[in-house]
Amino acid sequence: MAIQTHRCPEPSCSFFNQVLPHNANICPMCGTSLAQAVQPPPAMVASAARYAQTSAPLPQFSSTINNQERPQLKLLHPSEQSFLLLRESGVIGRQNLSNGMRPEIDLTGLPHAGIVSRTHAHLYWDLARQAYMIVDDSLNGSYLNDKLLPRGAPHPLSHGDKLQLGQERLICLQVELNHTSI
């Protein structure tokens, strides 16, 4: 009997065709349902990836998903620096100097930023729960309201939550949810 692996079927997702947690029902990055996910032949994967690169991009600053408004997610650092998630999903991390790639929430430059993984955690809007979710994908850990998040498991974020990154919890961020349009 073959072991079933969950993989994101959405070609435009950064988790496309990557193994996801075995109990995931949706992709933690893009929110695509995994219930209908099938493994396409390698030729179709390459073709879909080429199509995703040439198709028109989705609007980046939309505050609605399927005609339902989502709040704006802001993470506030004690230094008064704030970080906005402008899309319905994104990555918390720091810039990759070797290829110049930056996550949607780039903590590069903050004191102790070295403890933050380049892809530390994924954030996404869960339409069914009407909440932002966080999925830790780090080596040094993430804490939500002083509780260690299990790696790879989604957890809802609420206004006022305290998010701490790294084993020593050196990066502290407060979650703010603004319900006005972006």
Alpha-carbon distance of 139 to 134, in angstroms, equals 15
What pLDDT, on a 0 to 100 scale, did the predictor assign at position 8?
A: 72
Q: Is residue 34 within 8 Å of 27, Cβ to Cβ?
A: yes
Alpha-carbon distance of 26 to 153, in angstroms, equals 11
Alpha-carbon distance of 141 to 60, in angstroms, equals 29
**pLDDT tens digits, one per residue of 92-136:** 999 887 887 899 999 998 988 888 889 999 999 998 899 999 999
**pLDDT tens digits, one per residue of 26-55:** 777 677 777 655 443 444 334 333 333 333
Residue type, 76: L
